[in-house]
Amino acid sequence: MQDDAQFVEHAFDGDVHVLRINNAPVNTLRTGVRAGLLAGIQRCTREGARAIVLIGNGRMFSAGAEMTEFNKPRQPPSLPEVFEAIEHSKIPIVAAIHGSALGGGLELALACHARVALASAQLGLPEVKRGFVPGAGGTQRLPRLIGGEAALKIIVTGEPVRAAEALKLGIIDAIIEGDLEHGAVGWAREAAKSGRKFVLARHRADRIEGADMAAFDAAATALLKRARGQESPKGCVAAVRAALTAPFDEGLLVERQQFSRLVEGEQSFALRHIFFGEREVLRVPGMPADTQPLPVKNTVVIGAGTMGGGIAMNFCNVGMPVTVVETSQEALDRGLAKCHANWERTVTSGRLSQAEFEKRKGLLKGSTSLDVVKDADLVIEAIYEDMGAKKELFAKLDALARPGVVLASNTSTLDIDAIASATKRPELVVGMHFFSPANIMRLLEIVRGKASSMAAIATAMDVGKRIGKLNVVVGNCDGFVGNRITGKRGPQMEALLLEGALPQDIDRVMEGYGMAMGPCATGDLAGLDIGAAVRRARGTTAPIADALVAMGRYGQKTGKGWYMYDEKRTRLPDPIVEATILDLAEKSQVRRRKIEDSEILERLLLPMVNEGAKILEEGIASRAIDIDVIFCNGFGWPAWRGGPMFWADRMGLKNVRDKLAQYAAATNDPNLKPCALIERLAAEGGSFANSGTRKAA
């Protein structure tokens, strides 16, 4: 066990002392760090420091509280005790920020007498994304520095701000160029010599006096519209409101009450489950620790359509060159123009500079010849979903690409092993399943075929990380993990509609659960004709959806699908859809009935859980958390619900088993019969979370 001095290094630069947080990799404020800071401040005081610079070792200032210490007995000193020591210090303490100052890390900086940062630094309070509010004074100090509405936006969204914006707002006092520690020491020394009057954030009142509470409440209402049932944004609003309407100590009490209430709640457990899960999925069971990715500098994407263009944009966005290939100049020009238009919209919105746009545009090249594959370090295929076409293309790519180059397919459903069989390098063929829109969606399913080598998987993971994606390695089967599980919801939706529900009932229940859009609205957005094409390829049917497609109702693009749409694309219930459902129910001799919301929710979610359990049985997913992370990042599942397997664990697998069996008996649907893993875990009193891991097939 390290002692406190090892967590916080004490250094000297003349009469300015430096305290360096040393808790790799992200300098969380664990017990040893808090104790080290308190001891360091006391030592600096004893030894007559003129100023103190507080800085982080490694890649950042501090990522905040150590969440593994949550729900455990807290060991002293607490963060408020450290902050009290800072604020009572007669020696000015300057926080020097590089990398990130997040959560408790930013709260630590806010308690200091002043803050300086590198231009590349970012500062934020992301606690709302973990299901609680900042709990060490962030909701009280930040408004006093920058005003209520500005602080509210940062705290309720949880989004960080860059140093330039932080300086403009008043969070930091200066931007340092060059070496941060050297510059911060010089800044602190000069400030101390000049007799600068430091005013602590807790003593500031100029930015909150006479606050326009009507404007504040309007801003809060607008921000809360995005919450969709999540409780922590409401707690943040209450805490920040207290900063504007109550003395500092009373505001701290409100903040602490909100923190304590929320951190013990179900939503916070779910959000932390996903937070830690997103780190767990990066560890691939069975991959040797010394596995190295192959070097990738030049990437070629085959196909400049919606997916291919979006995939290519990811590379340019992070400064990596990419070439897209199309079969005709017309198709290529159309694809490149769409990429340019997407970036131009971002420039217009102010989120991208013109110079950065020009840089990205310069990195995006196009070709109508596959010969460019000869110079590629990685090839990603993104053509239409047809096995024959993909196998023919991969045979050509295999002949053109250099030995040792990975060939990846963006297929969302097709057999990676069958695609790999068209090549002489099956060990270098993997799936890289991007989610649409590919330039925005964070999730990347990396599909491992039977022959895929660990080096090929590591290469796909490395590239995914470099372009900002969250990688989840999965096994090879029809639909992989996400689409295979979601596919089990469709038949239940059709059955519920025949039995008594309407599209607006389905969507109301799912959106009430927290989904951004219900499945019917999502189908209309994606295009009902696309789903119909997939069913035709698989030899399956969906009687109601197929009937709508036969009527030319493809969704929003035709102005009618499950719903009808006005000129603003507002969805409206359509009597024609209801009549179609009633007619099919009569022809199928289904007696319609009133269906409770609870049944709609369970009938839609339980078959997904059942399929997820089968995927775990087969080793297609290594862990239940892999499935939850996929759904929260790729399918609009609210992170504060924790994912389908988390939901099932919280329900209790005995209840899951019994409900599945009940619905299977009532509907004669074999898909609702609880699978062997659920039966076993229910009998043992177990859970998905503790069921162990398996190597992905």
Check whether 4 has a pLDDT greater than 80. no
Average pLDDT value for residue range 74-87:
93
Structural domain includes residue 484: no
The Cα 109–Cα 102 span in angstroms is: 10
Confidence label for 228 from pLDDT (cuts 50, 70 and 90): confident
Average pLDDT value for residue range 255-270:
96
According to DSSP, residue 401 is labeled S
Compute how many other C-beta atoms are within 10 angstroms of the C-beta atom of residue 285: 12
Answer yes or no: 127 catalytic. yes
Structural domain includes residue 339: yes
Whether the CB-CB separation of 626 and 282 falls below 8 Å is answered with no
Q: Are residues 162 and 199 in the same domain?
A: yes
Among candidate residues 209, 244, 264, the one where a domain is terminated: 264
Average pLDDT value for residue range 526-544:
89
CATH of the domain at 620: 1.10.1040.50
Check whether 662 has a pLDDT greater than 50. yes
Q: How many domains does the chain have?
A: 4
Confidence label for 693 from pLDDT (cuts 50, 70 and 90): very low
Q: Could you give the percent of the chain with pLDDT greater than 90? A: 90
The tally of CA atoms less than 13 A away on the side-chain side of residue 353 is 3
Among candidate residues 587, 618, 640, the one where a domain is terminated: 587
H/E stretch holding 56 reads strand 51-56
Confidence label for 697 from pLDDT (cuts 50, 70 and 90): very low
Of 478, 482, 697, 518, nearest in space to 601 by CA: 518
Among candidate residues 212, 237, 264, the one where a domain is terminated: 264
Q: What is the token pair recorded at 682? A: 């229910």
Check whether 71 has a pLDDT greater than 80. no
User: Over the stretch 109-146, which tens digit does the pLDDT of each residue have?
Assistant: 999 999 999 999 999 999 999 999 999 999 999 999 99
CATH of the domain at 416: 3.40.50.720
CATH of the domain at 163: 3.90.226.10
Q: Are residues 47 and 186 in the same domain?
A: yes
User: Over the stretch 371-412, which tens digit does the pLDDT of each residue have?
Assistant: 999 999 999 999 999 999 999 999 999 999 999 999 999 999
Q: Are residues 316 and 438 in the same domain?
A: yes
Q: What is the token pair recorded at 205? A: 């009142």
Structural domain includes residue 489: no
Average pLDDT value for residue range 150-173:
97
- Position of tokens 């209801």? 578
The active-site residue out of 66, 107, 149, 445 is 107
Domain that holds residue 371: 299-474
Tell me, what's the pLDDT at 530? 86
Strands (E), 91-148: 93-97, 100-102, 114-118, 122-124
The Cα 319–Cα 307 span in angstroms is: 19
Compute how many other C-beta atoms are within 10 angstroms of the C-beta atom of residue 13: 16
Structural domain includes residue 278: no
Structural domain includes residue 214: yes
Structural domain includes residue 279: no
Tell me, what's the pLDDT at 5? 67
Average pLDDT value for residue range 651-665:
97
Q: Are residues 192 and 122 in the same domain?
A: yes
Q: Are residues 316 and 405 in the same domain?
A: yes
Answer yes or no: 266 catalytic. no
Q: Are residues 320 and 464 in the same domain?
A: yes
Check whether 695 has a pLDDT greater than 70. no
Tell me, what's the pLDDT at 67? 82
Tell me, what's the pLDDT at 75? 84
User: Over the stretch 332-367, which tens digit does the pLDDT of each residue have?
Assistant: 999 999 999 999 999 999 989 999 999 999 999 999
Weakest mean pLDDT among 14-18, 543-547, 669-673? 669-673
Q: Are residues 235 and 98 in the same domain?
A: yes
Structural domain includes residue 693: no
Q: Are residues 26 and 121 in the same domain?
A: yes
Q: What is the token pair recorded at 45? A: 């005081």
The Cα 237–Cα 269 span in angstroms is: 21
The Cα 691–Cα 673 span in angstroms is: 20
**Rg of the chain on CA atoms, in Å:** 28
The Cα 152–Cα 60 span in angstroms is: 24
Check whether 497 has a pLDDT greater than 70. yes
Mean pLDDT of the chain: 95
Q: Are residues 16 and 126 in the same domain?
A: yes
Of 162, 16, 24, nearest in space to 94 by CA: 16
Q: Are residues 69 and 206 in the same domain?
A: yes
- Please report the DSSP string for 59-81 in residue order: T-SB--S-GGGTTSPPPSSPHHH
Q: Which residue has the higher pLDDT, 683 or 69?
A: 683
Q: Are residues 11 and 44 in the same domain?
A: yes
Tell me, what's the pLDDT at 101? 98
Tell me, what's the pLDDT at 692? 63
Tell me, what's the pLDDT at 1? 40
Check whether 694 has a pLDDT greater than 50. no
The active-site residue out of 69, 87, 127, 209 is 127
Tell me, what's the pLDDT at 3? 57
Q: Are residues 199 and 303 in the same domain?
A: no
Structural domain includes residue 309: yes
Confidence label for 537 from pLDDT (cuts 50, 70 and 90): confident
Q: Which distant-in-sequence residues (6+ apart) come within 8 Å of 319 by Cβ? A: 359, 363
The Cα 625–Cα 334 span in angstroms is: 40
